Amino acid sequence: MTDEERKLWYLFLKRLPLTVNRQKNIGNYIIDFYIHSHSLAIEIDGRQHQLPENREADDNKDRALLALGITVIRYTNKDINRNFQAVCEDILKLLGLTAQDLK
């Protein structure tokens, strides 16, 4: 788990009133974080994801998951480090929750 994944997990995702799985296997893929109740995959992308071959692999992964009815949202390490609050607010909005719902 990267530092950015740890930060998102320990400071935010663990506080959600939902079950969040880390490193969830779905088909041939490993999802950074998965919220089954909302069919939502959260991926945290480091710099290597900017390489053309990795972007293509990510696009294929996203399409495969979408075909299973799973929405994929992606944040970069930079997003987590520079805009952590905005990332959390975005996830809350997608889940139909507010900061008051956090444990």
Residue range 49-101, pLDDT digits in tens: 575 677 888 899 999 999 999 999 999 999 999 999 999 999 999 999 999 99
Strand order in the sheet with 71-76: 21-26, 29-35, 40-45, 71-76
Question: How many separate domains does the chain show?
Answer: 1
CATH of the domain at 34: 3.40.960.10
* Residue 73 DSSP SS3: strand
Residue 48 Cα distances to 36, 43, 56, 76, 98, angstroms: 27, 13, 12, 10, 32
pTM metric for this prediction: 0.91
Which residue segment(s) compose the domain that 27 sits in? 3-101
C-alpha 91: how far from chain center? 9
* Residue 19 DSSP SS3: coil
